[in-house]
Amino acid sequence: MLKKIDRVMANDIFIDQFTDAHVIFQPYRISDHCPANLKISHSNVSKPRPFKFSNYIVEHTNFLKVVQDWWKMEVFGHPMFQVVKRLRYLKTPIDSNPHSVDIREKESNILRKSNTDVLKEECFLRQKSKVEWLRVGDYLWNTIRSFLGNATPCSAIPNQELLFSKKVRHDKAVAMIANVTAQEIKAAMFNISDIRSPGPDGYSAAFFKSSWDIIGDDVICAIKDFFMTGSFL
């Protein structure tokens, strides 16, 4: 039995600077270790750092004022386009704010200081999840085999109406296709945890919650527009 024990590790600064770097592992020979060749492109072009909203920014005294000033920017188009465009414009003042830079430096210091604790916690969680998966996995597999059963001949059903013995009441059926309300949209937004990973645009749920009094009406219009048109940017 062989185990892969060879690793090539790099810090965040190296990864950001050499985005095309990769490693080629050669076959092992006398030793159990494999030679590792690190390949770095000579024509390296650094990529811009992707925008990621830090939840600490909402605590800054000028945060809501910056959002309000930039959200007033006149944008023409359907509601969804207006929201996306304003969010894109808003990245500039948020990302260039000195407070944002201070926050990123503090986050880096915290990660460096608590590296050992993070590794310990990660190791514990991995072990716990693995044990839980083995336990639940066996249970699910036995349940699936029990559910599938054995192949037996099946006869045609003479009256297909018997398949739908339980039906939804008319008033409930109408409620299921009713228009989405502003209260439902706000409730859905505020039910999202602040520590969830941000969306593709880099904004977290904490941004929308903290600035809801400013951007909430436009977000609601955009979501309603989505349910009407089916188009989502």
Domain count for the chain, please give it. Answer: 2
Query: Where residue 44 falls among pLDDT bands split at 50, 70, 90?
Result: low
Question: Would you say residue 139 lies in a domain?
Answer: no
Q: For the chain, give the percent of residues with pLDDT over 70.
A: 73
Residue 219's CB: how many other CB atoms inside 10 A? 20
Question: Would you say residue 233 lies in a domain?
Answer: yes
| Nearest-angstrom CA–CA distance, 35 and 23 | 10
Question: Would you say residue 223 lies in a domain?
Answer: yes
Q: Give me the chain's average pLDDT, please.
A: 78
- Say yes or no: 59 and 81 in one domain: yes
On the question of pLDDT at 52 being above 90, the answer is no
On the question of pLDDT at 65 being above 80, the answer is yes
On the question of pLDDT at 214 being above 90, the answer is yes
Contacts of 15 (CB under 8 A, 6+ apart): 21
Predicted TM-score (pTM) of the model is 0.54
Average pLDDT rounded to a whole number, residues 196-209: 86
Please give the residue range of the domain that contains residue 36: 8-49
Give the tokens for residue 71: 């959200």
- Say yes or no: 31 and 80 in one domain: no
Give whole-number Cα distances, 80 to 9, 88, 95, in Å: 42, 12, 23
* pLDDT in the model for residue 1: 64
Question: Would you say residue 205 lies in a domain?
Answer: yes
Counts of helices then strands in the chain (DSSP H, E): 9, 2
Residue 58's CB: how many other CB atoms inside 10 A? 17
- Say yes or no: 216 and 187 in one domain: yes
- Say yes or no: 175 and 233 in one domain: yes
Give the tokens for residue 213: 């009094």
Question: Would you say residue 105 lies in a domain?
Answer: no
- Say yes or no: 182 and 233 in one domain: yes
- Say yes or no: 178 and 228 in one domain: yes
Flag the least confident range among 5-9, 74-78, 96-100, 215-219. Answer: 96-100
* pLDDT in the model for residue 101: 46
Residue type, 107: E
On the question of pLDDT at 127 being above 80, the answer is no
Question: Would you say residue 113 lies in a domain?
Answer: no
- Say yes or no: 32 and 71 in one domain: no
* pLDDT in the model for residue 67: 92
- ∠ Cα 2 134 149 (to 5°): 115
| Nearest-angstrom CA–CA distance, 64 and 55 | 13
Question: Would you say residue 65 lies in a domain?
Answer: yes
Flag the least confident range among 79-83, 101-105, 184-188, 220-224. Answer: 101-105
Question: Would you say residue 183 lies in a domain?
Answer: yes
Tallying the residues shown for the chain, one arrives at 233
- Say yes or no: 77 and 42 in one domain: no
Q: Tell me which residue has tokens 């600077």.
A: 17
Q: For the chain, give the percent of residues with pLDDT over 90.
A: 21
DSSP letter, residue 72? T
- Say yes or no: 185 and 211 in one domain: yes
